[in-house]
Structure 1
């Protein structure tokens, strides 16, 4: 796009042109509200893409994978991770997802993973329960999903620290909207190291007795359905990254929401059966993933705005989930609202494969923290604030509880 075209778009979309990156990181819901009211399809020059903030328009776009595709040359996730189920469309995307789908079904998660999630959560809590306080991100929320991913893939827990380092590099590279070359290079280096590590594990698993792990399941499927080693490695990257980032943020965001809504927290302590509602409203109210990017594969029009082929759109999941046309009083954290309409896990062909696992991890994590740590809440002396334009959560979450613990 040349300068004259960009200038013309800025004139046509003054609300979008005024948005800064800092605003999106600090107060995205205010930005999305302004855009939704005045320019529901808007051009944001800071990111050189169109933002869609209305619920109906986001849903329509995400469900139309002929016009709006995930596989495009300048896709950050494709650049960093290569081709996988979330960066290709059509038959390959379905083939990749179908190969993984069985182990992400609710019944399978209940039978094979929930007891391991509970065990890992309790072991982590054992490490800080007597202290009466802990920074939750570093000591619990970031560790639990890594341990779950290691269990899911059948990898040794001793590799947790290595995975943490890779994950941090992945996260930086995927959230690199300002195109920092050093951040990208660190992400690419981490991907290369991950491929070497996982290929060694694949070779080992090929010569081992089949088991219920995801890696073994992928390797021992019928030949005509089996993914290649390269396909397994590429898809493992997105499964692991999504499985770690979403759950870490979900745990932290849920505790933030509850601690800033003490009446809801009190009701939950009295009835842990409310946990599924708390998890679902957290995904709507303060979603871990704020947006989903798509490539415009053919000239089209959305809400009267021409979107030329080759453009990039950002479907603002967070904006859609605060659309007052769909959610009454959307800024309110309300676990009793109709929760079936949020798109915090996206929608359409690329609906999050791991959403049931994320829900289970979030539910079990909160249940163990609340059950074992009496009066567990955010430290009032160290308040937290969520941050991030692409992935959103408190950067740190200091928590306290009474000396009594189980």
Structure 2
């Protein structure tokens, strides 16, 4: 067999349709593989993915040719070390369990119920457009202290950011639209920073940042750049989490029935969802100095993709990894939110949104289930979710 035979054979469309068969073959025969179609290495074993993500000396997050850097500029997801720690420490307050429980959970429940009000009487809904893509936008508005009337504006910006971050062909029109929306976003938030500067008592992230102690305070530009990545990440992950949970449960009716009957099982169902159908499939790192994994040597400047989706189905870590099991004892070993210094800052908020969303949907939509004939299968080899998911239930007359 020639070197990296599996990697050479990878075809992007096939990978997007069904990555797990390819990941399993790589784990068994080629755990570190050069994927010719993308010009980078795939690392597929849980042990190796975890080790690389924890080593920010050898493997860095930043490069000027990153789409996320080109779109958003310098922020906590494109830097390592002390500067990263400074940004993360400043931005973390709304993402702690205590803050979420005391200040955000009630707002999340109100947002969820208001969205359900819009379709409860219909008996059928396309969940992504009516709920899953709207919930995290409105939660981010609450985190930033922006009015709900800003939702269409933020959704337009998000769509432009998503296109720009997936612009692997470097289409100049897509790139320009993304950059234009970045500037609009920053100008919009700058007005709020100016409004709240020097004022006490505003309970939102932007007000807290602009009035932080001088020795910790970020510049306005630093606040705005980091707000961009928090906004984008806070929407994409939650949207996928809700849709993937319903998709996974619909394909496992026994688990679906258990969770609907006992909402205390929702948190573990969500954890198994992010393991079995990880919203983020890949995390990219840039090699800073020569290193090797499983006998494959990387040189400085090489790009490696840490395949979260593969690591979370590694048979060395998870018993029967392709089986969806909300009772599995090894569930806590998943790394769906990454690991190491760049572990997802908003993971606790995502969990809270997912938990409250499923609980209220199950409570208010009697007998809700997924119309699998109308629902699209998940797709994507970096970010994975169904593009459409149709719920049906017994509408109250």
What TM-score range do you get, normalising by the shorter chain?
Answer: over 0.9
Does 2:5 align with 1:14?
Answer: yes
Paired position in structure 1 for 2:208 = 217
| Secondary structure, aligned partner of 1:188 | helix
| Secondary structure, aligned partner of 1:289 | coil
| Secondary structure, aligned partner of 1:241 | helix
How far did residue 73 of structure 1 move? 2.1
Does 2:123 align with 1:163?
Answer: no
Instruction: Give the aligned CA root-mean-square deviation in angstroms.
Output: 1.3
Give the whole-Å Cα distance in 2 for the aligned partners of 1:380 and 1:172: 27
1:191-246 residue CA offsets vs partner (Å, 9 max, x unmatched): 12111111112111215443110111111110110010000000001101000000
- Match for residue 97 of structure 1 among 65, 88, 91: 88
Does 2:355 align with 1:363?
Answer: yes
Give the whole-Å Cα distance in 2 for the aligned partners of 1:188 and 1:332: 42
Paired position in structure 2 for 1:385 = 377
Give the whole-Å Cα distance in 1 for the aligned partners of 2:5 and 2:40: 14
Paired position in structure 2 for 1:340 = 332
How far did residue 183 of structure 1 move? 2.7
Paired position in structure 2 for 1:7 = none
Give the whole-Å Cα distance in 2 for the aligned partners of 1:289 and 1:381: 25
Paired position in structure 1 for 2:274 = 283
Q: How does 1:201-280 map to 2 (within 5 A)?
A: 201-206=192-197, 208-280=199-271
How far did residue 403 of structure 1 move? 1.8
- Match for residue 302 of structure 1 among 293, 307, 323: 293
How far did residue 180 of structure 1 move? 3.4
Paired position in structure 2 for 1:400 = 392
Give the whole-Å Cα distance in 2 for the aligned partners of 1:183 and 1:14: 34
Alignment size in residue pairs = 396
Give the whole-Å Cα distance in 1 for the aligned partners of 2:235 and 2:106: 18
Does 2:128 align with 1:131?
Answer: no
How far did residue 383 of structure 1 move? 3.1
Paired position in structure 1 for 2:343 = 351
Would you say the 8 A contact 1:67–1:296 is kept in 2? yes
Give the whole-Å Cα distance in 2 for the aligned partners of 1:313 and 1:224: 36
* Structure 2 gaps, min length 5: none
1:264-312 residue CA offsets vs partner (Å, 9 max, x unmatched): 0100111100011011111111111111000000011111001010001
Give the whole-Å Cα distance in 2 for the aligned partners of 1:182 and 1:51: 30
How far did residue 45 of structure 1 move? 1.5
1:366-389 residue CA offsets vs partner (Å, 9 max, x unmatched): 001000001111124413300112
Would you say the 8 A contact 2:95–2:345 is kept in 1? yes
Q: Runs of 4 or more off by more than 4 Å in structure 1?
A: none
Give the whole-Å Cα distance in 2 for the aligned partners of 1:25 and 1:356: 28
Using the size of structure 1 for normalisation, the TM-score is: 0.95
Using the size of structure 2 for normalisation, the TM-score is: 0.97
Give the whole-Å Cα distance in 2 for the aligned partners of 1:44 and 1:177: 15
* Structure 1 gaps, min length 5: 1-9
How far did residue 11 of structure 1 move? 4.8
Give the whole-Å Cα distance in 2 for the aligned partners of 1:404 and 1:381: 24
How far did residue 69 of structure 1 move? 0.3
- Match for residue 317 of structure 2 among 317, 321, 326: 326
Give the whole-Å Cα distance in 1 for the aligned partners of 2:45 and 2:173: 35
Would you say the 8 A contact 1:42–1:50 is kept in 2? yes
- Match for residue 189 of structure 1 among 160, 180, 188: 180
